[in-house]
Structure 1
Amino acid sequence: MRIIGNGRIWQRSAAVVLAATALTGTAVGGGSAAPAATCSEVHVVAARGTNEPGGAWSKYHLGTVVGNPVYNAIDAALAATTTAYRVNYPASLTQPMSVQAGNRDLVDHVVAQAAACPEQKFVLVGYSQGANVVANSIGISSAGAKVGGPIVATLPASVEPRIAALLLFGNPIREIGKAVTGTYAERTYDVCNDDDPVCDPGGGNWNVHLHYTRFAGEAADFAAGRL
């Protein structure tokens, strides 16, 4: 396990399904693109992984592997008020513009939310294909990475100071030797399980790509330290 930043579930049958969708996945529905009705102090924006269920039991349906547990950990770690938004995109391997759709929706949502709530801070969360969505949105292209694509929108400079943390899990750009650099580097928590073929060059164990829930508390602490 390797972490960049402040250091580096499903049953097995589900693991096999997600591994298989690395080649043949299908879409999962998205959420609303409207800004939150109230202005919390911290707004978590999460882009789920390919075919990752949102979690019908959860408040925001951010994703069962990463989004929901990370949001819950952030909410518990902070005295501040929090809200969350699930990026509205296919999270699919069969739709060639999936990442670009997520990239556009994330940027549009954060820009609108920032205008509606001038004091709000943001935490961006991305898992697997969702990490590509986040990378594109801060100007780091995921083209050439697994489930990647070219940039179609970037967060404006006026919003950048309000992005408190980026929390990335199973980040595909790592597998092609890229990482978050520049302005956002010190605000980025980026974890890759050893032998995860999505983010670890030469990795071959698809099952470990599903085991990122265990980092929720550590990621939340990282974000809390930057809020």
Structure 2
Amino acid sequence: MSTRMLSAAVAGLAVLGLTVVAAPAASAAPCTDIDVPVARGTFEPGTLGLIVGDPVYQAVQNQLRPRSLSSYRVNYPADLGQPASVQKGNTDLVNHVTAQAAACPQQRFVLVGYSQGANVVDNSIGISSAGSPVGGPVVATIPAELAPRIAAILLFGNPIRSIGREVTGPYQSRTKDYCAGGDPVCQAGGGNVLAHLSYGADAADAAAFAAGKV
């Protein structure tokens, strides 16, 4: 999948009438039962991400009540023009989970990543996104001793799938990786740019999966 196709998917935000703007970074989360760090897609608007993060977080909240939840917006550029964008997100996500785990010994995590943000999550669990259009080598991984506290991983439009890679290893059974039919970002040869913008429809299913793992 070419960078041109990924750019077209980003441009598709305009087709839906969405304004691409930067949102303020979220502060560190309190000691809730479940923390949900979200790595948004390239130039994706919204607090956690209008297409995926916001609806998925709301759906997870609905599924897990009365347990308490918090969210964290991964602090990274989410920019096609910055070659280290994914690595910055990778570092920030790992730092956040590590700090939260130390501050809140009982807290568990549901990791969410969309598009370039899925690459951020891939790298953070030790699956390299190098070779995908907005990917790069792993620069930090969640410490192995914290792995049991990662309850679930929800990925949408994951670019590594277009190069024949997927989540394997200890996190595989806790991962739900959505790739809509024809999505050129996650499906080699895909030609339906609008498919990459469709993942909000999977929010309830993703939340049910996460609830089954918590």
TM-score (normalizing by structure 1): 0.84
Q: Kindly tell me the number of residue pairs found equivalent between the two proteins.
A: 201
Q: Which runs of 5+ in 2 are unaligned?
A: 1-8
Label 1:16 to 1:226 Cα distance change in 2 as closer, same or farther (>3 A).
closer
Deviation at 1:29, TM superposition (A): 5.0
CA RMSD of aligned residues (A): 1.9
Q: How does 1:17-36 map to 2 (within 5 A)?
A: 17=14, 28=22, 31-32=25-26, 34-36=27-29
Q: Secondary structure at the match of 1:173?
A: helix
Percent identity reads: 60
Deviation at 1:31, TM superposition (A): 1.1
> Could you list the runs of 4 or more consecutive aligned residues of structure 1 that deviate by over 6 angstroms after TM superposition?
none
Contact 1:136 1:150 in 2 (8 A): yes
1:47 matches 2:47: no
Label 1:143 to 1:14 Cα distance change in 2 as closer, same or farther (>3 A).
closer
The residue type paired with residue 55 of structure 2 is: P
The residue type paired with residue 175 of structure 1 is: S
The residue type paired with residue 37 of structure 2 is: V
Deviation at 1:191, TM superposition (A): 0.6
In the alignment, what sits opposite 2:124?
A: 137
2: CA distance, partners of 1:167 / 1:179: 13
Instruction: Say which of 60, 63, 72 aligns to 1:74.
Output: 60
TM-score (normalizing by structure 2): 0.89
Contact 1:171 1:192 in 2 (8 A): yes
Deviation at 1:110, TM superposition (A): 0.4
2: CA distance, partners of 1:13 / 1:179: 22
Label 1:75 to 1:205 Cα distance change in 2 as closer, same or farther (>3 A).
same
1:89 matches 2:86: no
1: CA distance, partners of 2:11 / 2:96: 31
The residue type paired with residue 173 of structure 2 is: E
Instruction: Say which of 160, 167, 173 aligns to 1:180.
Output: 167
Instruction: Say which of 110, 113, 116 aligns to 2:100.
Output: 113
In the alignment, what sits opposite 2:4?
A: none
The residue type paired with residue 36 of structure 2 is: V
* Larger proportion of helix: 2
Instruction: Say which of 12, 15, 18 aligns to 1:15.
Output: 12
1: CA distance, partners of 2:10 / 2:92: 31
Deviation at 1:70, TM superposition (A): 0.4
Label 1:16 to 1:77 Cα distance change in 2 as closer, same or farther (>3 A).
closer
Deviation at 1:68, TM superposition (A): 0.4
1:203 matches 2:190: yes
1: CA distance, partners of 2:61 / 2:99: 22
